[in-house]
Structure formats: C-alpha cells, structure tokens
C-alpha cells in the first residue's frame, strides 16, 4: 500500500507541474536600442516660449510737468508648461483706438514703436525684471486722450514662431 501512495503522489506532482508551467501568452518584449547621442535641440523645444501675456500692471501714466504720457508695459513669455521664462526675441508694440460695440474692437492705429530687439543678452537683461519675471518697457506716447485703447504685442521668436497678445488699456483720466 505504501508503494501505491508513493506512486499516487509522484503522478499528482507531475500533473501539477505540467499544468502550472505553460508558456507565456505574450511574446517577450525586446528592448529598443538606446541612442548614444542626445538631440539637445529637441530636448529644449518644450522650454521655448509658446504664449505671450500682458500683465494687468500695464498702465498709461502722466509724466510730470511736460504733460507727456508714458506707457508702462509689463510682458510675460510663457513656455509649454505655463511658466514665465526669459527668452530672446524681437518685440513689436502697437497701440490702437478701442471701438465699442464692434466685432473687431481694434480701430485706428494710434502709435507703433520701433521694434525692440532682445536677442542680445545685455539688452535682454536691461529690460528684464527678475522680481516679477517679466519684461518691462517704458514707452513715450505723444497723444493720449480720455478713451480706451487696444494694446497689441507681437514677439518674433528665434525658432520662427510669432506670438501675439492683445490687451484693453483703460484711460486713467
């Protein structure tokens, strides 16, 4: 009887081992070859500016006894993650009349300033406000009435993209 029990246990273990050792249903994953060289230009493209924003600190200010108006402009560049960044570029700043109750509120152009080239690191630093993480432009304005304006900023980026933003500027008079 003991020989029968031993035979029973050996056959049972053999059946269990065969049933539990089936081949995997998925083929094994073959690892993809790793590039030895890292393409740095594609790595940094996510950190290039993708949006331009005009901060609400932007205002028209009467300057002293000369009765000239100055535009204090705060511009922020944002990357793909929404973080404010410092980047080279050429800024074009234009001021338009605000037309009320219109599909296109941008009316006649009041002023256009000379393009501001911030591709040079020294010039870029001159306009950069590190505390606010924005660019600050103080621009003279010859004529400013008691009306609202549309401010348009265009940034020409080194990668060839053109970023545009509009801001409704309310007169403080």
CB atoms within 10 A of CB 163: 18
Range of the domain at 124: 48-169
The span from the CA of 68 to the CA of 66, in Å, is: 5
CB 33 within 8 Å of CB 19: no
Q: What pLDDT does 154 receive?
A: 97
pTM: 0.71
Confidence category of residue 74, pLDDT binned at 50, 70, 90: very high
pLDDT at 1 over 90: no
Query: Is residue 13 assigned to a domain?
Result: no
Query: Is residue 164 assigned to a domain?
Result: yes
Q: What is the mean pLDDT of residues 109-131?
A: 95
User: Between these two residues, 104 and 156, which has the higher pLDDT value?
Assistant: 156
Query: Is residue 26 assigned to a domain?
Result: no
Query: Is residue 2 assigned to a domain?
Result: no
Query: Is residue 156 assigned to a domain?
Result: yes
Query: Is residue 24 assigned to a domain?
Result: no
Confidence category of residue 33, pLDDT binned at 50, 70, 90: low
Q: What are 32-35's contacts with CB under 8 Å, separation 24+?
A: none
Q: What pLDDT does 47 receive?
A: 85
- In this structure, what CATH number is given to the domain that contains residue 111? 2.60.40.2550
Q: What pLDDT does 105 receive?
A: 85
Q: What pLDDT does 30 receive?
A: 66
Q: What percent of the chain has pLDDT over 90?
A: 49
User: Between these two residues, 133 and 67, which has the higher pLDDT value?
Assistant: 133
The span from the CA of 145 to the CA of 2, in Å, is: 112
CB atoms within 10 A of CB 117: 13
Query: Is residue 73 assigned to a domain?
Result: yes
Total domains, the chain: 1
Q: What is the mean pLDDT of residues 3-12?
A: 76
Query: Is residue 74 assigned to a domain?
Result: yes
The 10s digit of each residue's pLDDT in 87-115 is 999 999 999 998 888 788 888 999 999 99
């Amino acid at each position: 009887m003991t020989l029968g029990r031993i035979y029973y246990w050996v056959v049972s273990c053999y059946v269990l081992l065969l049933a539990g050792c089936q081949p995997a249903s998925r083929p094994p994953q073959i690892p993809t070859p790793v590039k030895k060289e890292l393409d740095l230009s594609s790595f940094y493209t996510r950190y290039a500016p993708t949006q331009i924003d005009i901060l609400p600190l932007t205002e028209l200010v009467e300057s002293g006894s000369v009765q000239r108006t100055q535009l204090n402009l705060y511009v922020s560049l944002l990357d793909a993650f929404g973080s404010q960044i410092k980047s080279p570029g050429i800024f074009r700043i234009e001021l338009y009349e605000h037309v009320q109750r219109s599909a296109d509120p941008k009316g006649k152009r009041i002023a256009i300033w000379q393009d501001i080239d911030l591709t040079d690191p020294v010039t870029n630093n001159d306009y950069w406000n590190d505390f606010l993480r924005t660019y600050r432009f103080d621009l003279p304005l010859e004529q400013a009435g008691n009306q609202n304006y549309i401010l348009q900023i265009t940034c020409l980026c080194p990668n060839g993209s053109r970023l545009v933003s509009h801001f409704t500027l309310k007169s403080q008079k």
